[in-house]
Structure 1
Amino acid sequence: MGQIHQHVHTEWRGGTCRVKWWSGEYLPNGRKRYESKGGFTDETSAYEHGQNKLYEIRHGTHVKNRDGATLMTDWLDDWLAAMDHRPLTERQYRSAIEIHIRPFFSKRNASVADIDVLAYRAFKKHVNSKLKPTSAAKVMIVLGMVLDDAVPRLIKVSPVERKGRRGKFTKKPKERKKDMTVEAVEQLARNARAVFGDSGYAFIWTMAMTGMRPGELYGLTREYCYPNWPASDPRPDPDESERYEEDAVRYGKGEGLMPAIRVERQLQYHEGRLQFFSPKYESQRTLVVPPFLADLLEALLASHDREWVFPAVRGGCLGAINFDHRYWRSIADGAEERRTPRCRTNRPALPAVPSFKGKRLYLVRHGAKAWLDEDGHSRFAVESRMGHEVPGVEGVYSSVTVPMERAIIKKLQERWEGLQERLPEEGF
């Protein structure tokens, strides 16, 4: 005979006992909705299981049977549909899911509840065998977010293993970098000039002196660049009127004003075309530049009538080409002489730049930060210039002052002048 204890009901079916418990919900007809589990060999165990489920329901940790049976591939669809990130970030997450996560778990017909610690480790081992450590780590981060968001509706706790858990220790690989010298930057700039003209020369020095991200440089337009800015600022945000007024008396061309670039946006591909988006981390910022770079930028803008400050060879946007393949590899790694009849892009042989050979363009941005650190500027001024958020009290109370910016201009100009003194015969 079965027994009923409040909202728990046990009954024997054949040689096993089944327990039913009230889920806390009602059916459309007003009757209570029950859940159940069978296969128990004694009534006491079945009853205790039902009581445990009631406890979970009361404390909000219960996973309904139908939710726990949700297939991982269905949850991935829901998770992707609910994403609200920048286009590049969404593209990276979607790529990790569609190329690695979904195929692995759909092949096993796994539900979300099936993914316990052991299943999580099995996937991690699988990914590590297929990808480089940094790429594998990015895929595991995405899986971690997917599983964390499944709590508490689909699973009670996430199986994601955080730092300090058991397992073989694997040292996090660190990209090897060499100190960035002004001589190396000058050679990169010269190579860039051979590849895509004066635009290339100014592009490299601007990245080295400002630490701007590639997408910010690709998307830099005339109205946000010295000598036009801030007089040419579109001033699209009425809430920023106070900043616009301060910019006008602090930056620009003229006595007592500091030459500067305004970072308001970046370029990214979205839905098959280039579009403007706010900078990463909403890091709109003003970047003062040293006099030599101000002169370079002014001359560059006077030399062409394109929208982009740094146009490509044919005048288009750098963001529309594969910059790394088309330009950067020749700039950093060197290239043989190219002479083709009627070719618009003939160029001499380019020497490799050892400290950047085989390395990423982004390391020029890293070098820009190292220069600021070497010059002893305040941490807040450095992080703000790089477009980073400074946490804690320091971030709340600090601000970038005019003396801080003038100190940055002075030190950067000294690096350029030091290069001229060491290599006077080159006419820098």
Structure 2
Amino acid sequence: MPYIEWRGGKCRVKWWAGEYLPNGRKKYESESGFDDEKTALDYGLDREYEVRHGTAVKPKNSKTLMSDYCWDWFDAQDLRPSTMRSYKSIIKKRIEPYWGSRAVGDITTLEYEGWKRTLRAAVERGEISAGYTKGILMVFGAMMDDSVTRYHLRTTSPVVKEKRGRGKYKKKIRAPKRPMEMVTLHRLATNAYQIWGYTGWAYIWTAAFTGMRPKELWGLQRCFVSPNWPSLDPLEADDVRREPDPGRYAKMPALRVQYQHQCIDKEHKLVAPKYDSWRTLVVPPFLHEMHTALLASHDAPWVFPGYRGGPLLGTKFEKTYWHPIRDGSPARKGQYARPEIPAVPEMAKRRIYLLRHGHKEWLDEDGHPRVATETRMGHELGGVEGVYANVTPAMESRIAESLQARWEKFVEEGKGVWLPPFPSPLPVDHSVRVPGQVRPGVTPGCR
């Protein structure tokens, strides 16, 4: 039971903090400044209730400065390297400068709402993007939630979750899309050939006909693409990341999405695909032939090396490759001479990631089962549908057939359409280990 006493015209309440002093006596905490005993008693009873239910916040803990808590919270996270980099940048640039001098327990909802308005004003001025602002608020909200539920620095979060349907409805504005046309892809691939040779040509068609994420393409090694895979699969039979039934693809050309290439702690490393979405993708015959010729034309460990032979990671891909492919480029002379490259207006200011979106459109357009489509995209179906659904060889075969039919229709209808000469195949002994094998978790060697 709380103890009430008057001090200098104000009421003070003391309650047991749930701990004992070194001498064995109970440790009490207190709060003063109340005008009447009932208010003080109710306050003390609330604190004892929190002690009994394990939700009590120690005064010294609530006074933890945000400048300390931000980084303690960050160090406790266990997320993918790219996510950790994003969180670190947000804390360093946006959260710590604004909240660093405040105690975690002193931040109020009104102060949070005011900060949120300043961020939205910055968006309207064009200083930051709406997506970046959403990320800032998400990180801060996670910090505050953890300060309540995990670290007991506060009793409630200052971030009030808005109830669905409350307030004025605002429709989410999405960038308009247009169907991914083969003619557009051909223009991109032709430009890529001028910039990057046959590797660029194959890169565009592979991105469009597999739906792989860009960094998955960057990390694609020659041992994981037909004709080498699955006969030269370097993974052990009991590796959980390995295709559970590689023999299934003995007669069905396929590639294995095993890694993505990322920069971690200033080192280039192979890491698991996003969401641990290891998967096998059947490829149409024309793409299998394209990959066969491409692998025979170089001995780099990567299927798609940069034009200097090294990995694409670290090449400033957007500026060096994608923007000239998409927006065009004037003619060049000298060591890197090339003709003028025309722009592709349909892709103006668009991300290369939209080739992945286009692949999903094709799969939906051709009527493939949802489980086959989502699995190919590296997604998992939730609920009962995800439990019962399964991708069968027949589904995969129909995907490869529909993609091949799309290619053949384009080539046939576009008679006279330009196709680059295949690189001259080199003698390759597929019975030996593929040279230049890159192992995960280490810095790949650059050529």
Structure 1 residue 171: Cα displacement:
3.5
- SS across alignment from 1:149: helix
Q: Which residue of 1 aligns with 2:249?
A: 251
Is the Cα–Cα contact under 8 Å of residues 420 and 427 in structure 1 kept in the other structure? no
Is the Cα–Cα contact under 8 Å of residues 76 and 102 in structure 1 kept in the other structure? yes
Is the Cα–Cα contact under 8 Å of residues 241 and 258 in structure 2 kept in the other structure? no
Is the Cα–Cα contact under 8 Å of residues 218 and 312 in structure 2 kept in the other structure? yes
Q: Which residue of 1 aligns with 2:78?
A: 84
Is the Cα–Cα contact under 8 Å of residues 326 and 347 in structure 2 kept in the other structure? yes
TM-score normalised by length of structure 2: 0.88
Whole-angstrom distance in 1 between the partners of 2:188 and 2:169: 39
Whole-angstrom distance in 2 between the partners of 1:267 and 1:319: 7
Whole-angstrom distance in 1 between the partners of 2:13 and 2:162: 39
Structure 1 residue 383: Cα displacement:
0.4
Is the Cα–Cα contact under 8 Å of residues 100 and 127 in structure 1 kept in the other structure? no
1:53-64 to structure 2, matched below 5 A, reads 53-64=47-58
Whole-angstrom distance in 2 between the partners of 1:119 and 1:241: 47
The reply on whether 1:151 has 2:148 as its aligned counterpart is yes
Structure 1 residue 241: Cα displacement:
10
Whole-angstrom distance in 2 between the partners of 1:63 and 1:73: 19
- SS across alignment from 1:330: helix
Structure 1 residue 242: Cα displacement:
9.2
Whole-angstrom distance in 2 between the partners of 1:240 and 1:403: 24
The one-letter amino acid paired with 1:410 is E
Q: Which residue of 2 aligns with 1:321?
A: 315
Q: Which residue of 1 aligns with 2:179?
A: 179
Aligned pair partner of 1:309 in 303, 308, 315: 303
1:327-366 to structure 2, matched below 5 A, reads 327-339=321-333, 341=334, 343=335, 345-366=336-357
Aligned pair partner of 1:401 in 370, 374, 392: 392
Is the Cα–Cα contact under 8 Å of residues 11 and 36 in structure 2 kept in the other structure? yes
Pair 1:173–1:104, CA change in 2 (3 A) = farther
The reply on whether 1:200 has 2:200 as its aligned counterpart is yes
The one-letter amino acid paired with 1:301 is L
Gaps of 5+ in 1: 1-5
Structure 1 residue 46: Cα displacement:
1.1
1:62-81 to structure 2, matched below 5 A, reads 62-81=56-75
The reply on whether 1:139 has 2:169 as its aligned counterpart is no
- SS across alignment from 1:148: helix
- SS across alignment from 2:231: coil
Is the Cα–Cα contact under 8 Å of residues 226 and 254 in structure 2 kept in the other structure? yes
Whole-angstrom distance in 2 between the partners of 1:267 and 1:338: 30
Whole-angstrom distance in 2 between the partners of 1:23 and 1:241: 50
Richer in helix (by share):
1
Is the Cα–Cα contact under 8 Å of residues 221 and 307 in structure 1 kept in the other structure? yes
Identity across matched positions, percent? 47
Structure 1 residue 354: Cα displacement:
2.0
1:111-150 to structure 2, matched below 5 A, reads 111-130=103-122, 131-150=128-147
The reply on whether 1:268 has 2:262 as its aligned counterpart is yes
The one-letter amino acid paired with 2:157 is S
Q: Which 4+ residue blocks in structure 1 deviate beyond 6 angstroms? A: none
Pair 1:242–1:199, CA change in 2 (3 A) = closer
Q: Which residue of 2 aligns with 1:17?
A: 11
The one-letter amino acid paired with 1:391 is G
Q: Which residue of 1 aligns with 2:435?
A: none
**For this pair of structures, how many residues does the alignment match?**
411
CA RMSD of superposed structures (Å): 1.7
The one-letter amino acid paired with 1:156 is T
Pair 1:333–1:55, CA change in 2 (3 A) = same
Whole-angstrom distance in 1 between the partners of 2:316 and 2:225: 24
Q: Which residue of 1 aligns with 2:428?
A: none
- SS across alignment from 2:27: strand
Whole-angstrom distance in 1 between the partners of 2:119 and 2:326: 31
